[in-house]
Amino acid sequence: MLLMLSLASLDTRSQENSPYSRYGLGDLTPAQNNLNRAMGGIASAFGDYSTVNFTNPASYAELKITSLDIGLDYTSRTLRALNPPRKFNSSYLIPSYLQLGLPLSKKRNWGMNLGLRPVTRINYEIVKRTRLAGIDSARYSYVGNGGTYQAFTGMAYGTKNLNIGFNFGYMFGNKEYSSQLAFINDTLIYKTANASDTTRFGGLFFNAGIQYKIKLSSKTTLKLGAHGNLETKLNATRNLSRRTVEYSSSAGLTTVDSIYTGQDQKGSILYPTTWGAGFIVEHENTWQFGAELGMAEWSAYRYYGVGDKLQNNWTARLGGQIIPDFKSDNYWKRVAYRLGASFGPDIFNLGTNVPQSGFSFGFGLPVRRNVYTNQYTIINTAFEIGSRGNKSNEIRENIFRLSLGLNLSDIWFNKPKYQ
């Protein structure tokens, strides 16, 4: 209801502003690294010797060189309201992940990863003005900030054809919501009603994955993969406040009367079960393409025992890449060219489904010839163009995201050899 009311007069004052982030734990951030996101997000079956694919931890078994992977996102959003027709823009720049992949044993296909990444983001400021009988107008203001993060370590072990791995770590974050109602009148002065909710939460999480390889020919391989996590309970502490306030230029916002306060209230947040499965067909050092399906049971989300306007959702992804000639002296023939797409309903249930879709492309840009330096540094770029909502929804959102990933790899920890 709030989303439908608010878009009549949306005020985008901060750099980032997405009204959808009011629900649940906020907007979901991309759950793949930049390489996979350029291919539509396919990651369940992906793995190679230098890429840290944290989506499916089974891929760590493929690591053969130490890899530091850092991601950065620039996102631009365009929001469109239907009644009355209006348009709003916002943009922001944030880090998207930090990963360190380590090959523990090359002969035994044993690898691990240390990682930190955002999971969700909450950031919106919505203002609605309306006229009331007997009062000139009323101003409703809704503000939210916060997000969820994961700090984790993962490990995987593999045989010739089978990889099994897991991630284990700590999921934590905060939610800060504030709602204000102010009456505006030429002759009478009214106090402002303010309701705020500040919650901190955290808990251990675990997810696991499996990958299996089938040789189709001497250089062509079919890779199968699946990953997921069970429902996760996060311990939470919240502070609630219901009060009347007034504002002055000298003192700022001050409390006139506290109607209700609740300090350090203990509870829990349930993060839902999610899983994904897919395949990739790969021709050695030349091309690969694949598809996958992801599911999430967001209807099971609970905040202090209460659900939200969320629903179970699925996302279909497909994509691939081609490297014209990785041994060529021509630089552009050694570049990886990637392309992909995704679609499916969003997690929000606002009376009608909120469809989402996206198209992506990108490049894997090698920094220098590996044979000269034993360095495998690659700049991975991803360009994503997405949409959320259609003519049945009160708000439509178009998203453009430019992602830059720096994969710094080297053959570290090798024992020196003397002739």
- Burial class for 78, CB neighbours closer than 10 Å (0-12, 13-18, 19+): middle
pLDDT given for residue 252 in this prediction: 52
Fill in the DSSP letter of residue 310: B
pLDDT in the model for residue 101: 95
Q: List residues bridging with 383 in a β-sheet.
A: 361, 402
What is the rounded CA–CA span in Å between residue 164 and residue 281? Answer: 19
Q: In order of start, what are the domains of the chain with their CATH numbers?
A: 2-410 (2.40.160.60)
Does residue 22 sit in helix, strand or coil? helix
The pLDDT of residue 90 is 83
Q: pLDDT at position 353, please?
A: 82
Task: Report residue 381 as tokens.
Answer: 């770029």
Residue 414 is predicted with a pLDDT of 52
pLDDT digits (tens, 9 = 90+) for 388-406: 887 777 788 899 999 999 9
Q: What are phi and psi of 331, to 5 degrees?
A: -55, -45
Distance separating alpha carbons of residues 263 and 243, to the nearest angstrom: 14
Does residue 373 sit in helix, strand or coil? helix
What is the amino acid identity at position 170? Y
What pLDDT, on the 0 to 100 scale, is given for residue 257? Answer: 62
DSSP letter, residue 37? H
- Going through 216-251 in order, the beta strands assigned E by DSSP cover 220-229, 232-248
pLDDT value at position 408? Answer: 87
C-alpha count within 13 angstroms, C-beta hemisphere, residue 210: 3
Q: What is the pLDDT of residue 392?
A: 75
**Per-residue model confidence as pLDDT tens for the chain (419 residues):** 334 333 333 443 446 678 888 899 999 999 999 999 999 999 999 999 889 999 999 999 999 989 999 999 999 988 887 766 777 888 888 899 999 999 998 778 999 999 999 999 998 887 777 776 656 677 778 889 999 999 999 999 999 999 999 999 999 999 998 887 777 765 556 667 778 899 999 999 999 999 999 999 999 999 999 999 999 999 999 998 877 766 555 555 565 666 767 788 999 999 999 999 999 999 998 999 999 999 999 999 999 999 999 999 999 999 999 999 988 889 999 999 999 999 999 998 877 888 999 999 999 999 866 555 556 789 999 999 999 887 777 788 899 999 999 998 865 545 555 44
Instruction: Report which DSSP code applies to 57.
Output: G
Radius of gyration of the chain (CA): 24
Q: How far apart are CA 179 and CA 150, in angstroms?
A: 28
Q: Are strands 287-296 and 135-158 parallel, antiparallel or unpaired?
A: unpaired
Closest to 155 in 3D by CA, of 116, 119, 208, 107: 208
For residue 137, the surrounding DSSP H or E stretch is strand 135-158
Residue 348 burial by Cβ neighbours in a 10 Å radius (0-12, 13-18, 19+): buried
For the segment 202-215, what is each residue's pLDDT rounded down to a tens digit?
999 999 999 999 99
Query: What is the pLDDT, as a whole number, of residue 107?
Result: 79
Report the C-alpha gap between 260 and 195 in whole angstroms: 9
Question: Would you state the pLDDT for residue 5?
Answer: 37
